[in-house]
Amino acid sequence: MSKNEEILQVLREIKALLEPKSTSSPPPPKGLWNEFLDFISKYKVMGMAVAFILGLYLGALVQALVNDLVMPIITLATPGVEWELYMVGPFRVGHFIGTLITFLLVAFVVFLIVKMTRKLGIE
């Protein structure tokens, strides 16, 4: 075998390695019920539903924390000022600030939960 033929052979082998392999996906399940079960397992719908429901209740819990614990502290820190009723023209600035505090606390709690689950090795 000449040097050129050897190089050509190596290049063919490299080309064969770089070409995409044909991966045939399994055939779709037959029947509506089987397709539905495949959909549920493939897209992890139950996990998403559980996460959604827990997210709703986590939001309600954090909102209760803000409304029942944090905002009364702010009210004590600013006696005689009804900050939730504070308005600038037609804009309810006080209500917005309360909602912003709620959002920041919810985001912080979600951050802590994600951080703890990652530490535990849960994705």
Could you read off the pLDDT of 65-115 as tens digits, one per residue? 878 888 788 778 878 877 778 888 999 888 888 888 878 887 887 788 888
Beta bridge partners of 88: 91
Cβ atoms of 75 and 83 closer than 8 Å: yes
**pLDDT grade, residue 3 (50/70/90)?**
confident
Domain housing 13:
3-119
Residue range 34-45: mean pLDDT, rounded:
81
More confident residue, 73 or 28: 73
At 123 the pLDDT is: 65
Note the pTM of the prediction, 2 decimals. 0.49
Instruction: Return d(Cα 33, Cα 27) in angstroms, integer.
Output: 15
The CATH number covering residue 64 comes to 1.10.1200
Neighbours of 59 (CB within 10 A): 15
Which residue type occupies 119? K
Q: How many domains does the chain have?
A: 1
Strand partners, 91: 88
Average pLDDT of the chain, as a whole number: 81
Q: How confident is the model at residue 1 (pLDDT cuts 50, 70, 90)?
A: low
When pLDDT is averaged across residues 6-25 and rounded to a whole number, the result is 78
